[in-house]
């Protein structure tokens, strides 16, 4: 079974530029999550989708971050404009559904450096 795919793996941009990350979850997984992992910290949930609807985006900085999952499969996370403090690894995860008993599977992450 193929795992969660993410691209790009690395991205370097200047502050105030925009950037987008892509995630393809495990086939058949209805729930998709985006996490931000700042160096030296644990991952922090940004947004959770159930199919193509948002379940929780309470920790997403909506003035600059946006995410969509239009067809209930792939998802993109965008930052516009980027700030220095957005430098982090952005992790995508998926699970069969949003019930707490279902394991989340993580992708390799996208490492973003903002200069």
Q: Is 100 in the site for another protein (CB under 8 A)?
A: yes
Question: Which region among 7-15, 61-69, 76-84, 107-115 touches another protein (by CB under 8 A)?
Answer: 107-115
Q: Which stretch binds another protein (CB under 8 A): 15-23, 65-73, 74-82, 94-102?
A: 94-102
The dihedrals phi and psi of 58, each to the nearest 5 degrees, come to: -65, -20
Which alpha helices (DSSP H) does 1-115 contain, by range?
none
Residue 3 in the binding site for another protein (CB under 8 A): yes
By CB under 8 A, the count of residues binding another protein is: 28
Distance, in Å, from the CA atom of 36 to the CA atom of 43, rounded to the nearest integer, reads: 5
* CA angle, residues 108, 4, 6, in degrees to nearest 5: 55
Q: Is 94 in the site for another protein (CB under 8 A)?
A: no
CA distance 13 to 93: 24
The least distance separating another protein from the CB of residue 51, rounded to whole angstroms, comes to: 14
CA distance 78 to 108: 18
Nearer residue to another protein within complex by CB, 6 or 82? 6
* Binding-site member from 13, 74, 108, 113 for another protein (CB under 8 A): 108
């Amino acid at each position: 079974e193929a795992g969660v795919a993410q691209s790009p793996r690395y991205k370097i941009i200047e502050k105030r530029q925009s950037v987008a990350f892509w995630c393809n979850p495990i086939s058949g997984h209805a729930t998709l999550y985006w996490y931000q992992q700042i160096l030296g910290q644990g991952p922090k949930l940004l947004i959770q989708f159930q199919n193509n609807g948002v379940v929780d985006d309470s920790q997403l900085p909506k003035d600059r971050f946006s995410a969509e999952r239009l067809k209930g499969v792939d998802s993109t996370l965008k930052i516009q404009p980027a700030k220095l403090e957005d430098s982090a690894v952005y992790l995508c995860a998926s699970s069969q559904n949003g019930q707490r008993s279902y394991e989340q599977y993580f992708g390799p992450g996208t490492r973003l450096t903002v200069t």
